[in-house]
Amino acid sequence: MLIRRETLAKALVVAFVFNLIVMGAGAYLAYEQSPQRPAEVVGPGGDVIATNDDIVAGKAVFQQNSLMNHGSILGNGAYFGADYTADALDRLTTNMREYVARERYGASSYAALDEAEQAAVNDVVERQLSEGEFGATLELTAAEAYAYGEVRESYAEQYHDGEREAGIPAGFVSTPEDARRFADFAVWTAMFSAIDRPGTAHSYTNDWPYAPGAGNDAPVSALTWSVVAMVLLVGGGGLGIWLYSAVELPEPDAEGVDVPDPADVTLTPSQFAAARFVPVAAVLFLAQTLLGGLMAHYYIERGGFYGLASALGVDALSALPFAITKAWHIDLAILWIATLWLGIGLFLPPLLTGREPANQKRYVHVLLGALFVVVVGGLVGIWLGSQGYIEGALWWIIGNEGLEYLEVGRLWQVGLLVGFALWTALVARGFKPLLSRESRFGLAHMIIYAGGSIGLLFTASMFYTPQTTMVVTEFWRWWVVHMWVEGAFEFFVVAVVAVALVAMNLLSRRSAEKAVMLEALLVMGAGVIGVSHHYWWIGLPDYWVPIGSVFSTLEFIPLVFILFEAIGEYRAMRDAGESFPYTLPFMFIVASGVWNFVGAGVLGFFINLPLVNYYEHGTFLTVGHAHASMFGAFGFLALGLAVYVLQFTTKRGKWDGTNLRRAFWLWNVGLAWMVFIGDVPVGFLQLEAVFTANYDAARSVAFYSRDIIQTLFWARLPGDVLLILGTGLFSYDVLKKRFVRRDPTAASSDGTVISRRIFRESAGAESDDD
């Protein structure tokens, strides 16, 4: 079956418009149907317990103190501390039982009741929690009002006074009153997780978290749509295999092809400027892995680091609490990958065009400088903001916005947005000779579309403030986080790999264009709407369960395609024999395909089944999925293309890939060890704890303190060490290669060996669309 490029382009536009309509409607309904904050929360006598302003202030405390990077809310965030929704709901349930036991039976405690009396108390508590009603006023029963006050005081004690065994330093929240406001926010989320949505038999969160004592259990829809998802996986997988076999897309073919040696290609000054992004990324990567090792050890020794902190007289828990470590770890992961992609995107245009616009080198240096300012400003702002050094409204402007993956203050986010726009403009300048000669669905256009879409989706982070309700905030946050991962980033990845294959002379430009559009169509058709699997338990309507189930299942299909593509590329490389100079970059491309399939495909599909996700949401199974898919889908590919750039910039005869190859295997073994010996086993034990008790128990310090869990955390340590060693070796080799760097060469009027071939292809009949 032969598919024309024009046909693929039209289908891609249709898929984009369809996604826009679905997600636009979802945005409207998120505002209309999410649980709203009550103006007042009152007790049985009409006494005001809390107001909307208190809940809004509590959300600000939650964000300013980076509590989403200590624990989680509605299952989203860090796993070191409690899930505050589940924790508040469990505390409400426990304290209500004590109150009802005293009032109804005159007992000293709930535990003093016999089994029948306890069952009666349980029934009262469950009924009271589910029968509330949101409106301008939320009226609490006497038991609920009592429990509310107890939760407030326990939060003041825990988050202000500190609890070192839970990894919470004294003064973590600056004042007892701020801690009480945080409790107001947490209790609000707990209440709408238990109160039935009007006209339904389940709560606003579809009865998540699992808390039998509050009446929360997995909804029938979770089971129904899990079965549908598995049926779709089988059917969709078969359709994907048929499509892959039926569509005629030329695979990379190195037989009889003259692959240009990197040393034979003329490099422009702007390409050497772009190559400077590689050592910057290496430093960021090394810092990120070191922080990851510290985070992993915090689960074992919550108050220090192998006893060194106490030996040196340093209060590590206060100076560098887990919340800041986690925020920096995540942000640095995004930044080192983005830094490599920015540099690679600026390095590629002259390869294909043989031209360099005026002052391009200067503008590349401006972008690198701006990146430095944003990175340093953002990371320092996170520490200053969460440590209480930035007062007033500025905390979320220049400090830390405090939302997972979007921790940096709004000013630094705007700086990133401007940086994306500048990068897109510079890439467009570099590709200008090709842009004027190819169609709108040409390869150079695709790179610009993909890069521009990254910045476009990032604008969703501007649609909320600390005053926005948490449900709506989460809706827009996942637009940025998930649509980057499953939409724009995947599109960009495929486009960049296609350009690299064209530059290596393994694919014709027009064949690459067709491959990019097909992959983009598959990703667009599943990944964007697939973001809705994050909406099941956060307070949005239950129709997201079937939508999320279907499209999350379909996300698996393009991952299979990408894996097949990586294997096809590897075979082409192998067929090229010893003369092929890009063996090492291709090792990274294949590893990217494998880990993307394992992390985002296998583990991702498993944890995104609604019934599994109901119990698993926010456990170490998600940690394993995140590490494997992020490193696989984006990390290895970025590193492989960095190696590709280094081969071009190294002097002839000075290239040595030994250290980079060693780093490659250290990363792969370390990642496999960390995921399958550490994260996944802990995740399955957490899943068992949820089944046998409740969700809050699986996220408690008591669970993490179990001997077997501590043993698994220690067993994960070699994997962390291997990853750190691999990154250290990579960073050393990158810096070492700066001393054997080629000199820029004068540009030739007839371009480079690569650009001459590209323009010869462009000179062919463009209308002959194969």
Q: Which tens digit of pLDDT belongs to each residue from 27-39?
A: 888 888 889 899 9
pLDDT, position 112: 95
| Nearest partner of 297 among 320, 275, 277, 278, judged by Cα | 320
CA 727 to CA 361: how far, in whole Å?
28
Which pLDDT tens digit goes with each residue over 198-249? 989 899 999 999 999 999 999 999 999 999 888 887 776 677 667 656 665 5
Say what the pLDDT of residue 213 is.
Answer: 94
Give residue 137's region: left, alpha or beta (phi > 0; psi -120 to 50).
beta
From the CB of residue 192, how many other CB atoms can be counted at a distance below 10 Å? 24
d(CA 618, CA 465): 24
d(CA 390, CA 384): 6
Highest-confidence range of 440-454, 518-532, 561-575, by mean pLDDT? Answer: 440-454
Return the pLDDT at 175: 95
CA atoms within 13 A on the CB side of 520: 33
Neighbours of 220 (CB within 10 A): 11
pTM: 0.90
Spatial distance between the Cα atoms of 756 and 260, rounded to a whole number of angstroms: 12
pLDDT band at 765 (very low <50, low <70, confident <90, very high): very low
Per cent of the chain over pLDDT 90 is 51
The predicted pLDDT at position 439 comes to 76
Give pLDDT tens digits for 142-170.
999 999 999 999 999 999 999 988 889 99
* pLDDT reading at 500 higher than 90: no
Predicted confidence at residue 767, as pLDDT, reads 45
Tens-digit pLDDT profile for residues 731-764: 999 999 988 888 776 656 666 666 666 666 555 5
Separation CA 661–CA 584 (nearest Å)? 7
Cβ neighbourhood burial of 203 (10 Å; 0-12, 13-18, 19+) = buried
**What is the pLDDT, as a whole number, of residue 747?**
58
Distant-in-sequence, close-in-space partners of 744: CB < 8 Å, separation ≥ 6: 267, 268, 269, 271, 272
Phi and psi for 138 in degrees, rounded to 5?
-105, 110
**For position 507, what pLDDT does the model report?**
65
Picking from 352, 342, 493, 345, the residue whose alpha carbon sits closest to that of residue 432 is: 352
In what helix (H) or strand (E) does residue 72 lie, and over which residues does it extend?
strand 72-73
- Residue 428 neighbours by CB distance under 10 Å: 18
The pLDDT mean for the chain works out to 86
Residue 211 pairs in a beta bridge with 216
C-alpha distances in Å from residue 215, one per residue of 35, 89, 194, 204: 19, 11, 7, 13
Whole-angstrom Cα distance, residue 424 to residue 14?
Answer: 24
Per-residue pLDDT for 253 more than 90? no
In terms of phi and psi (left: phi > 0; alpha: psi -120 to 50; beta: otherwise), the region of 36 is: beta
Q: What pLDDT does residue 602 have? A: 87
**Whether the predicted pLDDT of 566 surpasses 70:** no
Section 654-665 average pLDDT: 94
User: What's the distance, CA 403 to chain centroid?
Assistant: 12
Please, are residues 42 and 49 in contact by the beta-carbon 8 Å criterion? yes
DSSP 685-725: HHHHHHHHS-HHHHTSHHHHTSHHHHHHHHHHHHHHHHHHH
Q: How far apart are CA 453 and CA 636, in angstroms?
A: 22
- How many Cβ atoms from other residues are within 10 Å of residue 560's Cβ? 18
Contacts of 768 (CB under 8 A, 6+ apart): none
Per DSSP, helices labelled H in 34-111 are 52-64, 84-105
Nearest to 596 by CA among 562, 647, 573, 568: 562
Determine the 3-state secondary structure of 503 from DSSP. Answer: helix
> pLDDT tens digits, residue range 344-394?
889 988 888 888 899 999 999 999 999 999 999 999 999 999 888 887 888
Q: Which is nearest to 251 in space by CA: 518, 491, 448?
A: 518
Biggest CA–CA distance in the chain, Å, is 95
**Nearest one of 24, 31, 21, 4 to 468, comparing CA atoms:** 31
Range scoring the smallest mean pLDDT among 248-252, 384-388, 595-599, 651-655: 248-252
- Residue 77 phi/psi, 5-degree rounding, is 140, -150
How many other β-carbons are positioned within 10 Å of the β-carbon of residue 514? 27
Q: List Cβ<8 Å contacts ≥24 apart for 20-29.
A: 22/529, 22/547, 23/479, 23/528, 23/529, 23/531, 26/475, 26/532, 26/535, 26/544, 27/475, 27/476, 29/540, 29/541
The helix (H) or strand (E) run that includes residue 406 is strand 406-408
681-722 residue pLDDT tens = 999 999 999 999 999 999 999 999 999 999 999 999 999 999
Find the DSSP H helices in 354-409. 360-386
Is the pLDDT confidence value at 470 over 70? yes
Residues near 756 by Cβ (< 8 Å), separated by ≥ 6? Answer: 354, 750
Is the distance from CB of 674 to CB of 723 less than 8 angstroms?
yes
Residue at token pair 């979320």: 396
